[in-house]
Structure 1
Amino acid sequence: MGIRKQIGLCSIFVRYILYFIFGTIMIILLYFFAFFLMGTNNIILPANYTEQKIESSKYMLSKVDKVTEEMIPEGCSYGVFDAKGNMIYGNFNSKASKTAWNVVQKNEKSLGMTRHYAVIQRKTETCIIEYFITAQFSNPLLKKYLGNPELLVLILFILSFIFEVGLLSIRFGRYFSKEMKLLMEATEEIKKQNLDFQPKHSGIREIEEVIYSLNSMKSELKDSLKKQWNMEKGRKNQISALAHDIKTPLTIIKGNAELVKETCKDEEQMKYNRYILSASEEIEHYLKVLIDITKSEDILAFSPIKIETKTFVEKIVEQEKALAFEKSIQLINDQENISEFFYGDEELLYRAILNVIANAVEYSPQKGKLFFKVEEDEKFLKFLIEDSGKGFSKEELEFASDQFYRGDKSRNSKNHYGIGLYITRSFTELHQGTVELSNSTKTGGAQVIIRIPKNRS
C-alpha cells in the first residue's frame, strides 16, 4: 500500500471544530428561515398580536355594561376592580388580582420580560387585562398540542444540536479508530512474533510516525533474533556433535574396561575397574541427558489426535512394570470411570507421564510402593503418580520443574539432572494442561498430578 496523504492531529481537530461551527450556524439559519416562512404565511402569529387585539377592543370594553370572558382575547386573564382595588369579577385568582392591581398602581405596564398589563377605565370601574408578548400558532389545534412556538423551536434546536454533536463525534471516532487500528495491527503482529509483515500506512502524521518507529523496531528485533536463533542453532549443533563425538572414545574405554573385568584376577585391579565402569555409565547418562536437552529446546510438532484411553493407559502400565522390576516395587494402579477416548498428542503425553514414573521409581526405596491413578471430571483428564520416597522439599516444590534444577540435597539422587519434570511440564503445557507438585498424605513421598483438557476447542 502506498503512502497516503497525511494530516496532523491538530489540523484534524480544527477541521472538526469548523464542521461543528458551520453545522450550528446552518441549524440556526434553518430554524430562523422556517420561523420566518410560518410568520409570513400566518401559521405563527407575531409576538404583539394579542397586544394589537386588546388595543382594538379598548373602546368597546370601556362602554359595555359588563366585561365578559368572551370579549377578552384568547390566552389572556382579566379582572374588573372598584376604586379601592377590590376585584368585582373576572378570572384572576386572588394572588394574580393583587399583583395586577399593584403593578397598575405603580403606573407600570409589565412584570418581567413577557407578562404585560393593559388598563381600561370604565365609568366607576377599572378593567385590567394580563397578556403575554410571545409568538403563537394561529391554528387552535397547533396551539393546543404544540404550545408556544418559540419554546418549541428552542427544544428542536437543542435536539438538533445534540444530534449534530453525536453525529460529528461518531464520524470522528470512526475515522480515528480506523487509523488507530493500523497501529494496533502492527503491535499485534509483533506480539505474535511475526516479524515479516509490512505495516499499513496511516493518514494521520503522528500515527504514521509511531508506525514508522514500530517498523524500525521490528526490523532491528528481527535482525537481533535472527542472530540469536543462529547462535542457538549453532550451539545446539555443537553440543549434539560433541556429545556424539564423546561416545566413540567412551565406547572404547567402556569396552576395554569390560574386557579387563572378564580377564583380570587381581582384586585391587577389579576395584579400580569397577570405578571406571561406573564413571563410564555416568558419563553415558550425562550424554543422554545433554542430547535430550537440545531436543527439548527445539520447536515441537504438536499433533493432537483421538486417543483410546484404555490402550494408552495399558501402554504406560507395561512400561511402568519394566521400570519397577529391578527394585521389586509394588505397583498399585487404578482407573475411575474414565471416558473411552480423549484428545492429545499421544507421543508427547506418553513421554511426559513416563518421565514422572521414572523419577518416582528412582526415588522409591527397594520394595517400596508406587501409585498410578487415572481419573477425570467434566473438563479434565487427570494422571496421578505417588512414590514412597522422601518427598519434595519446600524448595523443590517451587523449583523442581525448572530446567536444570537439582534437588539432590533432600532426595539423595545423583542421577537427577533437572530435565525430567521440565520436559513433563513443557509437554503438558502444549496440551493446555497443568502439572501440580505436592507431597502425598498417603505415602509421604512425592505426588505429581498431570491435568489435561479432555477436549480441545
Structure 2
Amino acid sequence: MGLIRGKKSLKCIFIRYILYFGLATILLITVYLFLFTIMIENHIILPANYSEQKLEENNSAILKVDKVNKNLIPEGCNYGVYNKGGNMLYGNFTVKQSEEAWTAIKNNQNNIFGDRFYKAFYRKKDICIVQYSIKTQFNSPLLRKYLLNAGSFGVVLFVLLFVGEVVLLSVVFARYISKEMKILIEVSDNIKRKDLNFEPKHSSIREIEEVIDSLNDMKNALKESLENQWDIEKSRKNQISALAHDIKTPLTIIKGNAELIKESSTEAYNIKCNDYILKSADEIQKYLRLLIDMTKSEDMLILKPAEIETKVFFKKIVDKEKALTTEKNLELINNVENIPDFFYADEELLYRAIMNVISNAIEYSPKYGKLIFKICGCEKVLEFVIEDSGNGFSKEDLKSAAEQFYRGDKSRNSKNHYGMGLFITNSFIKLHGGFMELSNSEEIGGARVVLKIPLDISNK
C-alpha cells in the first residue's frame, strides 16, 4: 500500500498533459509572433498597411507627374486614370474593376466588400484611382503568385503547427500509457496461460498498479487453489491405487479357497473356506462402494427425498450396528428423543452417511468399549448423534476431518480408513440442506459426530 501511495494517479497525469499542452501552445504562439516580426523587419513579409504607406509616400509624384506609370503604384495594387467624365484613359483595371472603382469614388466610398480599398488622386487634367488591400503580403512576387497572402498563409501554418503539437503530445502520452498497460497485459496473459510462478512488474501509475496488485492476489489465490486441486488429484490417485491393491488380497483369498473347496472332500473344511470367501466378498464390496463414492461429488448426486418412518429407519441402523460390533463386543447405547413419526430425506444417502460415521466409530473404539447412537427431534431439525469411546478427535482432526483424503493420526495405518468417510458423510448431509458438527464426547470420552438435517426437505 505504501508503494501505491507514491505512484502517480491518472488524474495527475492528465493534468500534467494539459499543462504541457498549454505551455507548448504559448511557446508556439510566442515563436510564431517572433518569426513573423523578424520577417516583417527584414521585408520578407510586407505589413498590412504597406500599400497605403507607399501611396502616401508617392502622393506628390502621382499628382505632379505628366502620366502616371506603374512604377508609382505599389506592387499588388491596380490603378486607372480617368477623365472628368469617368472614362478610363489608361491603367491596368479590367472593365469591371474600372466601373467599380469610379462608382466607389463617385459615391465617396473608399471600401467595397471589405477587402478592396480605393484612393483617388485629383490631378489637374484627370483623376487617378488606385485599388489596394489592407493585408500582409509576401515581398517576393513569386511567393505572392503561388501562395496565399502572408496573413492567410500564416494562419494556415499556425493551424498546422498547432495540430502537429496536439498529435505529438498525444503520441507521447499514448506511448507512456501504452507502456504501462503492457505491464498489465503481460500479467493477465501469464495468468491466462496458467504461468503462475512469475513476479509481476510494477507500474508508475497508481490505478494500474492497483489492478496489478489485484491480479497478483488473484494469481496467488489461483495458484493455491490449483496446487490444492493437484494435491487432491494426486491423493485421489494414490488412494485409488491403494484400494486397487487392497482388492487383490480378498480376491487372492477367494481364489485360493475356491481351489481348496474344489480339491477338498471334507465338509467342515469346505464350510470354513466358504466363510473366508464370503468375508472377502464383503470386503471387496466395501472397497468398491468406497471407490464409487470417491468418484462422485455433490454435483453428481441427485437427491430423491421421500417420506421415511423414523422408528423403522432407527431399527434398520441399530440392526446393522449390532452386526458390525459383534467382533469387538461393544456396549451399544441406542436412544430416541422427541422424534416425529415421519421425516423426509433420501433414505439411501442418509443411511450411508450415518453408517460411514458408525463404521469409523467402531473402528476406533477399543474392545468392550461403548458406542452411542441416538436420534433427537429439535424444532424443525432432526439430529443423528454418534459417540464412541476411542481416543477422540485431535485439534487437527476437528479442523480438517471433513476434508477429502484426510487420514488423521497416520500411526493407526488402518487399511479400511482412506480419509473419505467423514468427507462423504458431510457431502451427503449438505445435499440434504444440513450440516455436520464434530466434537469430543463428554459422556464416554471419544469422538462425537452430530448430523443435522431439516425435518422436511420435500420442497428442496
Q: TM-score, normalised by structure 2?
A: 0.53
By how many angstroms is 1:122 displaced? 3.1
Counterpart secondary structure, 1:119: strand
Q: Residues 258-277 of structure 1 correspond to what in structure 2 (within 5 A)? A: none
By how many angstroms is 1:63 displaced? 3.8
Contact 2:45 2:137 in 1 (8 A): yes
By how many angstroms is 1:32 displaced? 0.8
User: Do residues 72 (structure 1) and 73 (structure 2) align?
Assistant: yes
Q: Residues 410-449 of structure 1 correspond to what in structure 2 (within 5 A)? A: none
By how many angstroms is 1:256 displaced? 4.6
- 1:353 counterpart residue number: none
Contact 2:121 2:128 in 1 (8 A): yes
User: Do residues 91 (structure 1) and 92 (structure 2) align?
Assistant: yes
Aligned partner of 1:75: which letter?
G
Distance 2:259 2:26 in 1: 104
Q: Residues 26-425 of structure 1 correspond to what in structure 2 (within 5 A)? A: 26-140=27-141, 143=144, 148-257=149-258
Distance 2:96 2:249 in 1: 120
Mark the CA change 1:243 to 1:85 in structure 2 (over 3 Å): closer, same or farther.
farther
Distance 2:44 2:71 in 1: 23
Per-residue Cα deviation, 1:81-120 (whole angstroms, up to 9, x for no partner): 3445443432222332232233223312123444211112
Counterpart secondary structure, 1:99: helix
Distance 1:116 1:47 in 2: 12
Counterpart secondary structure, 2:242: helix
Contact 1:43 1:138 in 2 (8 A): yes
Distance 2:260 2:79 in 1: 136
Contact 2:80 2:129 in 1 (8 A): yes
Distance 2:42 2:88 in 1: 40
By how many angstroms is 1:137 displaced? 3.7
Counterpart secondary structure, 2:74: coil
Distance 2:58 2:72 in 1: 8
Distance 2:190 2:72 in 1: 83
Mark the CA change 1:262 to 1:90 in structure 2 (over 3 Å): closer, same or farther.
farther
Distance 1:98 1:255 in 2: 135
Distance 1:236 1:160 in 2: 71
Per-residue Cα deviation, 1:269-314 (whole angstroms, up to 9, x for no partner): xxxxxxx9xxx9xx9xx99xx9xxx9xxxxxxxxxxxxxxxxxxxx
Aligned partner of 1:106: which letter?
N
Distance 1:227 1:187 in 2: 22
Identity of aligned residues (%): 56
Aligned partner of 2:206: which letter?
R
By how many angstroms is 1:165 displaced? 1.3
Aligned partner of 2:29: which letter?
I
Per-residue Cα deviation, 1:401-423 (whole angstroms, up to 9, x for no partner): xxxxxxxxxxxxxxxxxxxxxxx
- 1:18 counterpart residue number: 19
Counterpart secondary structure, 2:198: coil
Counterpart secondary structure, 1:6: coil
Distance 1:258 1:74 in 2: 131
Contact 1:79 1:88 in 2 (8 A): yes
Distance 1:86 1:78 in 2: 13
Mark the CA change 1:40 to 1:260 in structure 2 (over 3 Å): closer, same or farther.
same
Aligned partner of 1:216: which letter?
D
Contact 2:101 2:118 in 1 (8 A): yes
By how many angstroms is 1:195 displaced? 2.1
Mark the CA change 1:249 to 1:116 in structure 2 (over 3 Å): closer, same or farther.
same
Mark the CA change 1:94 to 1:140 in structure 2 (over 3 Å): closer, same or farther.
closer
Distance 1:247 1:126 in 2: 133
Contact 1:20 1:168 in 2 (8 A): yes
Mark the CA change 1:99 to 1:140 in structure 2 (over 3 Å): closer, same or farther.
closer
By how many angstroms is 1:204 displaced? 0.8
By how many angstroms is 1:252 displaced? 3.3
Aligned partner of 2:209: which letter?
E
Q: TM-score, normalised by structure 1?
A: 0.53
Contact 1:50 1:133 in 2 (8 A): yes
- 2:304 counterpart residue number: none
Contact 1:3 1:201 in 2 (8 A): no
Could you tell me which runs of 5 or more consecutive residues in structure 1 were left unpaired when the two chains were aligned: 265-275, 295-457
Which has the higher Rg, Structure 1 or Structure 2? 2
By how many angstroms is 1:143 displaced? 4.9
Per-residue Cα deviation, 1:313-369 (whole angstroms, up to 9, x for no partner): xxxxxxxxxxxxxxxxxxxxxxxxxxxxxxxxxxxxxxxxxxxxxxxxxxxxxxxxx
Counterpart secondary structure, 1:92: coil
Contact 2:44 2:139 in 1 (8 A): yes
Counterpart secondary structure, 2:90: strand
Per-residue Cα deviation, 1:171-230 (whole angstroms, up to 9, x for no partner): 101110111111111111111112222222211111111111111222222222222222
Mark the CA change 1:85 to 1:256 in structure 2 (over 3 Å): closer, same or farther.
farther
Distance 2:18 2:67 in 1: 62
Distance 2:264 2:87 in 1: 148
Mark the CA change 1:240 to 1:118 in structure 2 (over 3 Å): closer, same or farther.
same
Mean CA deviation greater in 145-154 or 173-182: 145-154
Distance 1:27 1:56 in 2: 36
Aligned partner of 1:185: which letter?
E
Aligned partner of 1:109: which letter?
N
By how many angstroms is 1:249 displaced? 1.6
